[in-house]
Structure 1
């Protein structure tokens, strides 16, 4: 198996920034993105002129959305790459920025994810329509997965809903989250969408932005960046769906790519202190957490009830609030996960800090299915 970052020079995240995720507004996407970029530049204590390359992740804005945004910072002729990869757009952009810096092509790269829903979400036609396309929408699919999991492991729908209770509580502590309200189990169980899946167990798709600055050791030295706040990206793994698993390809793919990223980082699953997963639906956090290997299959719910996955527990999962409460603007989501993990590993996540956090994992899947996983260490 080919190692990626392990074969390259060390890569670090040195700056993070956000525009809070929010419901649809009249704010132009340019303003959303610029706020996140400027905050990341300030956090890294560098100037826009120091950035040598930029990656812009979007899913909803159309062609070449980055240039109208970045020109407000100044036109300096740096390379600019636009990336769309569904929900994994931001994670994909982050991986490619890390590869560029690790390969020595540049010393400092910007990754910014920004999105604004201006029209119904469009998915390219496959050319081979399915008889079930109109019947099995995402909520239906994940409701069926929740039912299957409950039956297989003898747990109740309310047990799965506890994931959302935890994540809403975490989101209430996050000033960048779209949903910032503590919810009781009774509240979470209201407003069914499909089967036992309810509205508060599903991610909202709003708008917002997230940005990170990636730098090499040479870039850190040359620009006088505070190395004590730099967080190393120790592994990056990616893959796409294989033939033969049509029931739950996202989980099978995630298990494979997570294992690859954890192996490349030379750690074990239980060395992870913070995890951000693609929990667009409550059942997803449960499935993907078990896929990391931090617990055995069927053990997630008992450990969740013990507080093992709370902030302050054995491993804080979705300390940001996850997609369920932090939100899922699509383009920014994977970048925002990296930003949250960096904040946690720096010890700067005021009000929701995982004590002693040193290693974190960010995981996103996208339609297709594709999967991107990154491991970061302080």
Structure 2
């Protein structure tokens, strides 16, 4: 099945770069972003003047952040577009890069996510309407309530949910770009301070800062530019949607994940069972259990069992959040979605070192933004 993503002889990730995620510092955002961009250029073997266009995913820096940053590489006249869509900002910047390449507008496009810890003010706080309660829009409260429902309906215990954090902190401890780099035991996760309900600090993602970059190139341009096809990961699908009316508390986010993931899988022409890897939004531990079921890598009701059997670990049936996920790697917002793409590109190339998943050929990167938008990308290994 051929779709728009196959136009222009396909869409490929040819270079990736990262600035490690970290706690808020005095580091200028330009340094964070340019570190990632320079790495991506070196990784691809491309020069800055060869880039035709750039999309910048960011939430907290301010207007025209991309042009201010990129002028330090040289003013080449390229098109620059800033993208903001909450936690999914980087993912949507990457999608725009893919669209531009597939449609033949440009042959080489940069997608970069960069953020500092800003004030985090949301448009919903400026809509002029009174909130139902002070906690109605507090994510930790919402997901703590969803966790209670999930554990009750699945007849699972709190420890099984906390094992998500144990796994992801363990993965992050082997990731040089992660904000947290210490493995955690189940006892440590459960004993960390409570945030809301059964969610403890170590089951919640940290905010911070960092950057991630990906260079997207058309298949037609690969040969002209002399790029190594063995290191070019193909983008097989890109799908997005927004919320529909909620049928039960918290169900909207799960429905979003299911709908966007299914659409991406159909576009790629594969089933969820084909996926070897999945990077997803685990700002809170229960999300990984809910969304692994929604994506379809495990049957409904078996997210906790899938985890406890080791099926979601590196080397398992489908490695989930091998990077450490948002819980371990961190969640600086703008870079997060492109950081997922960078992780999966390394894995699909076989370059992830001690985090390498042994049979990585098909992967999905999935993000949501404030529970109201969702986006999924499917990638495949160069020889898939």
Q: Give the TM interval when normalised to the shorter protein.
A: over 0.9
| Number of matched pairs | 376
Match of 2:374 among 367, 371, 375: 371
Give the match for residue 218 of structure 1: 220
Unaligned ranges ≥5, structure 2: none
Q: Does 1:354 align with 2:357?
A: yes
Q: Deviations over 1:122-142 (max 9, x none)?
A: 111233232124455111100
- Whole-Å separation in 1 of the counterparts to 2:295 and 2:371: 21
- Whole-Å separation in 2 of the counterparts to 1:7 and 1:68: 32
Q: Does 1:257 align with 2:260?
A: yes
Give the match for residue 90 of structure 1: 90
- Whole-Å separation in 2 of the counterparts to 1:245 and 1:343: 39
- Whole-Å separation in 2 of the counterparts to 1:103 and 1:220: 16
Q: Deviations over 1:263-295 (max 9, x none)?
A: 110111011011000000000111111111111
Q: Does 1:120 align with 2:122?
A: no
- Whole-Å separation in 1 of the counterparts to 2:127 and 2:247: 18
8 A contact 1:9–1:104 mirrored in 2: no
- Whole-Å separation in 2 of the counterparts to 1:368 and 1:239: 11
Give the match for residue 69 of structure 2: 69
Q: Does 1:317 align with 2:320?
A: yes
8 A contact 2:8–2:220 mirrored in 1: no
Secondary structure, in 3 states, of the residue corresponding to 1:36? helix
RMSD (CA atoms): 1.3
Equivalent residues in 2 for 1:1-378, closer than 5 Å: 4-6=4-6, 9-117=9-117, 119-124=118-123, 125-134=126-135, 137-190=138-191, 191-245=193-247, 247-248=249-250, 249-367=252-370, 369-378=372-381
**TM-score normalized by the length of structure 2:** 0.96
**TM-score normalized by the length of structure 1:** 0.97
- Whole-Å separation in 2 of the counterparts to 1:346 and 1:111: 19
- Whole-Å separation in 1 of the counterparts to 2:4 and 2:291: 23
Q: Give the deviation of 1:349 after TM superposition.
A: 0.3
- Whole-Å separation in 1 of the counterparts to 2:137 and 2:89: 24
Q: Give the deviation of 1:330 after TM superposition.
A: 0.2
Q: Give the deviation of 1:369 after TM superposition.
A: 0.4
Unaligned ranges ≥5, structure 1: none
- Whole-Å separation in 2 of the counterparts to 1:290 and 1:134: 27
Residues 23 and 65 of structure 1, relative CA distance in 2, 3 Å threshold: same
Runs of 4+ in 1 over 3 A off after TM superposition: 6-9, 133-136
8 A contact 1:178–1:327 mirrored in 2: yes
Q: Deviations over 1:63-98 (max 9, x none)?
A: 111111100000000111000000000000000100
Residues 187 and 37 of structure 1, relative CA distance in 2, 3 Å threshold: same
8 A contact 2:6–2:102 mirrored in 1: no
Secondary structure, in 3 states, of the residue corresponding to 2:54? strand
8 A contact 2:280–2:365 mirrored in 1: yes
8 A contact 1:245–1:252 mirrored in 2: no
Residues 368 and 185 of structure 1, relative CA distance in 2, 3 Å threshold: closer
